[in-house]
Structure 1
């Protein structure tokens, strides 16, 4: 099938990250994909080699008439995360195949809340505009068999060998005695307390090698360093590394090599689950506090032990309590049990292909 996937980059490139993974995996399975995006600049580091079968197109509003006139009709339209498809493009699709509506998917945000199961795969009749009379289908990624599942490429959830992890950790600059940690976050209020703890005692008596990801995580750590008391970057207990932005596959490998992963948003928490290492999720904060319920539902699904639940609440600014100790063995066992549940379910692309084939 020919797919048109539409993406608006809001902030932090998470939307584009998900859409690129979806586009690339569809193409790897033999589909043809046109990815329409209003700002594709992040693909220069996210996917520098591109992907055969994926064409990236600039999403202008409105689309130029000459672009519309030469456009072959797609079989599937995917609006990612509630963005609106250009009316001219819908009219072009309808004019070319008036008797055959497109399969129109509204790919929604990820949540573990119970209502996702009730809303997944529900139809929404289009009442006006050039696509009036068509049906839009809501497709919800999720953590249970009654949802659309999660993105999962072949091999991404395989447990690496000890030799692979040792080689990868050395490449990342960590020594054998280090606790290797990746930090990918927004501006967590508990970050100063965590860095101060690691600076004086490491992680349970083990030196920490901290990979501070570029962008907002690096800015957040620099802000802590700028505040008194003085923050020493290279103590016996804490070493900071400042990696550059890397392609998605390299980011996934980094998570698999680490002992603990701090992740944020939607895409990276899924990658951290597949990595099977202890994780802490900085959920995207929302003004209406909706993230509080989303985080609670995720921790319920994860069957998080009390220490992991409390750490999440403090890390996300939902509790003023002190940060609890990090129990790496217990947290990793929790994540690996969750990964085993997910591996027994169909992945998102398999479900999406099946759904769209049936609706055609």
Structure 2
């Protein structure tokens, strides 16, 4: 019988935690034939990503048993592999059951994605826990000495086929109520609140090329509404200012969000899940990293830029770096965006090269399964 796996997810902010763990759970079940159970303390967040999931009761979707993580935890038999995602605290009773179940249980702390140098040195290290248990730290990452990146089998092939099929792209956009006009560049914007947004929108409105900005509903709508000076923005709302046309889209399931990124020429994304999916889209991107206390997020941002900018010309690297820094600092974007336009062809080619380079390494799910096999 295949090993059983369970993933614990505590939804901290928005949908990133739920998004990453749901993708991982689905892949472990679909590609590795594992029995997977996903514990989540806010099932409503998962329903936004997978509408078939039930926010009030346990049920199975895509081969994964989805369970509410209750405050009044009742003892259950632990799986062979227990993953606590992003350092969430397992129920004490479950840890005790892991120690007393009479068999070896692999306990993994799946950490947040980071390009920082220290990640490789900590990946796979054990930590002795009460009851004789060991917990291992598992770090996703962009380097050989990390656990790799979430990537389903055949993802890049499906993406490239979709991008090469104009009819498929048009049909998908139409399903969202989007009708692109001839000559329009398609951009997507999924972001937290950002003081830099007005400057970027001004630059897009004043540009010589027309742009359609597709904005899935989310926290950025308030800033967008103020820039447009509109009383409210709802799904389906459209507005035009200069060369910029804006349309608000519904919050879509994960697979459809991937297709949206594939349709666009440029993607502004946030957090971790959409950040990685924008990289797999093979298009230039702009990342808004989740702010942390005392500016700790800047180290993560600069560490990724140091890797991502490798292979770019000095002017291309300078332009992209200036744009990302201004966006994350909430500063004026106009000059940085103008400079970026001169580097556009190089940035497009570079995004595809980066994608292929990262896809040449084992993916996160495969690395986790291999780690378990080696541990046994």
TM-score w.r.t. length of structure 2 = 0.86
Structure 1 residue aligned with 2:100, among 95, 104, 109?
Answer: 95
- 2:43 equivalent to 1:43: no
Q: In the TM superposition, what is the alpha-carbon distance from 1:189 to its structure 2 partner?
A: 1.9
Match of residue 327, structure 2, among 315, 319, 326:
315
Q: Extract unaligned runs of 5+ from structure 2.
A: 54-60, 231-237
**How many angstroms does 1:45 deviate by?**
2.6
**Which of 358, 365, 371 in structure 2 is aligned with 1:342?**
358
Deviation at 1:320, TM superposition (A): 6.0
Q: Say which is worse superposed, 303-312 or 254-263, in terms of deviation.
A: 303-312
Equivalent position to 1:252, from 244, 247, 258:
258
Shift of 1:288: 1.6
Q: How many residues align?
A: 342
**How many Å separate the matches in 2 of 1:334 and 1:225?**
33
Q: Is 1:25 aligned to residue 30 of structure 2? A: no
Residues 318 and 211 of structure 1, relative CA distance in 2, 3 Å threshold: closer
Q: Higher mean Cα deviation, 47-56 or 341-350?
A: 47-56
Contact kept, 8 Å, 1:278 with 1:332, in 2: the verdict is yes
Question: What residue is the counterpart of 2:57 in the other structure?
Answer: none
Distance of 1:215 and 1:255 partners within structure 2:
16
Task: Give the alignment of 1:1-360 within 5 angstroms.
Answer: 1-29=3-31, 30-49=33-52, 51-64=61-74, 68=75, 71-97=76-102, 100-126=103-129, 128=130, 132-158=131-157, 159=160, 160-163=163-166, 164-169=168-173, 171=175, 172-201=178-207, 205-226=208-229, 233-303=239-309, 305-317=317-329, 322-324=334-336, 325=338, 326-327=340-341, 328-360=344-376
Mapped to 1, the partners of 2:267 and 2:333 lie a distance apart of: 22
Kindly provide the CA deviation profile for residues 185-214 of structure 1, in whole angstroms up to 9, marking residues without a partner as x. Answer: 11222100111122233xxx2211111121
- SS for the counterpart of 2:241 is coil
- The answer to whether the 8 A contact 1:190-1:323 is kept is no
Taking the aligned partners of 2:209 and 2:335, their CA distance within structure 1 comes to 18
**Would the alpha carbon gap of residues 321 and 183 (structure 1) be closer, same or farther in structure 2, given more than 3 Å must change?**
closer
Contact 2:200 2:334 in 1 (8 A): no
| 1:326-346 alpha-carbon deviations (Å, 9 max, x no partner) | 333222222112112101111
Alpha-carbon distance between aligned partners in 1 of 2:218 and 2:111, rounded to the nearest angstrom: 26
Instruction: Output the CA distance in 2 between the equivalents of 1:252 and 1:151.
Output: 13
Secondary structure in 2 aligned to 1:141?
coil
How big is the alpha-carbon RMSD for the aligned residues of Structure 1 and Structure 2? 1.9
TM-score for both structures, normalised by structure 1: 0.90
**C-alpha separation between the residues in 1 aligned to 2:194 and 2:349?**
25
Measure how far apart 1:72 and its partner are: 3.2
Instruction: Give secondary structure in 2 for the equivalent of 1:150.
Output: coil
Rounded to whole Å, the distance in 2 between the matches of 1:21 and 1:165 is 23
| Distance in 1 between residues matched to 2:252 and 2:260, nearest whole Å | 10
